[in-house]
Amino acid sequence: MKAAIIGGGVIGGGWAARFLLNGWDVAVADPDPEAERKINEVLAGARRSLPAVYDRALPAEGTLSFCALEDACAGADWVQESVPERLDIKHTVLDRVNAAAPDSAVIASSTSGFKPSELTAQGARCIVAHPFNPVYLLPLIELVGDVPAGAADMLRSVGFSPLHVRKEIDAHIADRFLEAVWREALWLVKDGIATTEEIDEAIRMGFGLRWAQMGLFETYRVAGGEAGMKHFMAQFGPALQWPWTKLMDVPEFTDELVDLIAGQSDAQSGHLSIRELERLRDDNLVGILRSLKRTNAAAGGVIAAHEASLPQPSASPEALPITQDRVIPQTWTDYNGHMNEAHYLELGAAATDRFMEMIGADAAYIAEGLSYFTTENHLQYLDEMHAGDRVRVSTQVLEGGPKKMHLFHRMMNPAGEVAATMETFLLHVDLGTRRSAPARADVAEALAAFGQAHAGMPRPEGAGRYVGQRG
């Protein structure tokens, strides 16, 4: 698959990263002589953060190229226009795109405010696919217009969550909320009620955390208590008549107001560069997205669904199966700057879970009331691993019986060297009695097949070690 990115700014760079890191070839067209440098800086941030959201490896990166608009569009499956928000510029660019792109290509604009009817007024074919920054991390895409069949599925295949806007409207859906909040914030600063930092504190310490997982209406439904949304609206509905906000009344953008807000913003975060702020933002988003993924909630559900579509390594018993292939997230590192010891155990436990799936002891098996319980682990820490490192875990069966499973996991760094090992012993358990019991016949047979295939392999160095034993 090929994506053409027309315009290589912050948004265009984010689109390029999202497609590229999901295995698409990407061609970027931008007359800016600094475009290649800027795109590569965005890619560096994306490579650090997007794979860290997942517990499986993303596809191998596609090929990135920089070329003229016509060459970028040739053979493209998706063309994304992300040029400045001027209708005359967009009309000119879209005319060229329509002449160069295949008839089968989806042609979309990243516009924050223009309607599809405005973009296509001169005859160009185009829909709106409005993303949110950083495009490579945030899943939402607002689709507006006559969306071609298969377009939404293409976006889902790279981890987006498409929202088809029912009717075209200026600024679509999400930016209309942001604009209302922005207008009120300007008044609060202008009237001396709050500083830029205090307004940001009100959002990030309060309702912003709720909105990240529940949105607006679900948050208010909970606020209504057991009586629900009707009670909330009856209780707080009259407040809509009170002069709490100024809504469409906007303060004049005088030099004094701009200087006031810019000065407060500089005092708030001017000690950090833009790249440092982006890394901080992305690290925080990775943590939030991973937390939401664990509960399959909101944006985390999109990540979980996309992760489930990523291929798993081979489960053949003839060689040591790869039971984990992933990138180490920033949330797994500690004050020493490397992967925290507890997460080696988490990685090994995930490898055990994957091996259980390979032999048929999967979620359906557990739902039937059968599983394996770990009774003992032994970890060896042999080398450091860091955030962003791709780690692969191979698993060797040392013993596999009707009630027992004895595994040895090797955790390998990007160079293929063993950075840690985990030896683990498990008993098969009947979840009804919480006591050991024989595995189901097909599971026992699959485990035995791995055990027989691995029996002729050398015993792993470190197997059977005890704590403190000399090498």
Q: Is the dihedral of CA 157, 163, 167, 169 positive or negative?
A: negative
Q: Is the dihedral of CA 241, 244, 247, 249 positive or negative?
A: positive
- Which of these, 39, 44, 40, lies nearest to 7 by C-alpha position? 39
Amino acid 75: pLDDT: 98
What is the DSSP pairing of strand 435-436 with strand 418-430?
antiparallel
Q: Are 204 and 193 in contact (CB under 8 A)?
A: no
Amino acid 263: pLDDT: 93
Higher per-residue confidence, 453 vs 470: 453
When pLDDT is cut at 50, 70 and 90, the band that residue 220 belongs to is confident
Indicate the residue type of 197: E
Quick: pLDDT tens for 292-342: 999 999 999 999 999 999 998 877 777 899 999 999 999 999 999 999 999
Please name the residue that has the structure tokens 């991973």: 290
268 vs 196: CA distance, rounded Å:
8
Amino acid 258: pLDDT: 87
63 vs 57: CA distance, rounded Å:
18
Q: Are 300 and 294 in contact (CB under 8 A)?
A: yes
Q: What percent of the chain has pLDDT over 90?
A: 85
DSSP designation for 439: P
Question: Mean of the pLDDT values across residues 9-13?
Answer: 96
425 vs 323: CA distance, rounded Å:
16
Question: Mean of the pLDDT values across residues 274-294?
Answer: 92
Residue 318 has which token pair?
Answer: 């003839």
Instruction: Spell out the domain ranges in the chain.
Output: 2-172, 175-271, 312-455
Quick: pLDDT tens for 80-129: 999 999 999 999 999 999 999 999 999 999 999 999 999 999 999 999 99
Print the SS3 string covering 65-106.
EECCHHHHHCCCCEEEECCCCCHHHHHHHHHHHHHHCCCCCE
Assign domain 312-455 to its CATH superfamily: Hotdog Thioesterase (3.10.129.10)
Task: List the binding residues.
Answer: 7-12
Amino acid 336: pLDDT: 95
Question: Mean of the pLDDT values across residues 149-168?
Answer: 97
Amino acid 458: pLDDT: 95
Quick: pLDDT tens for 167-193: 999 999 999 999 999 999 999 999 999
Q: What is the mean pLDDT of the chain?
A: 94
Q: Is the dihedral of CA 273, 279, 283, 288 positive or negative?
A: positive
CATH number for the domain formed by residue range(s) 2-172:
3.40.50.720
Among left, alpha and beta (phi > 0; psi -120 to 50; other), residue 7 is: left
When pLDDT is cut at 50, 70 and 90, the band that residue 52 belongs to is very high
Q: Which residues pair with 411 in a beta bridge?
A: 393, 420
Q: Are 47 and 21 in contact (CB under 8 A)?
A: yes
295 vs 385: CA distance, rounded Å:
27
Q: What percent of the chain has pLDDT over 70?
A: 100
Please name the residue that has the structure tokens 């070839």: 25
Q: For the sheet with 106-109, list strands across it.
A: 64-66, 25-29, 2-6, 78-81, 106-109, 127-130, 140-144, 161-164
CA 74 → CA 17, 26, 30, 95, distances in Å? Answer: 20, 12, 15, 14
Amino acid 190: pLDDT: 94
Q: Is 12 exposed, middle or buried (0-12, 13-18, 19+ CB in 10 A)?
A: buried
Question: Mean of the pLDDT values across residues 151-158?
Answer: 98
Where does 126-229 show beta strands of DSSP type E?
A: 127-130, 140-144, 161-164
- Which of these, 127, 290, 53, 285, lies nearest to 22 by C-alpha position? 53
Q: For residue 14, report the phi and psi dihedrals to the nearest 5 degrees.
A: -65, -40
Indicate the residue type of 158: V
460 vs 464: CA distance, rounded Å:
9
Task: List the binding residues for NAD(+).
Answer: 7-12
DSSP designation for 337: S
Q: Are 470 and 434 in contact (CB under 8 A)?
A: no
Amino acid 392: pLDDT: 96
Does position 236 have pLDDT exceeding 80, yes or no? no
Amino acid 72: pLDDT: 98
Q: Are 428 and 402 in contact (CB under 8 A)?
A: yes
Three-state DSSP state, 25: strand
Total Cβ atoms within 10 A of residue 197: 13
Which CATH fold topology does 175-271 show? N-(1-d-carboxylethyl)-l-norvaline Dehydrogenase; domain 2 (1.10.1040)
Amino acid 247: pLDDT: 75
Q: Is 355 exposed, middle or buried (0-12, 13-18, 19+ CB in 10 A)?
A: buried
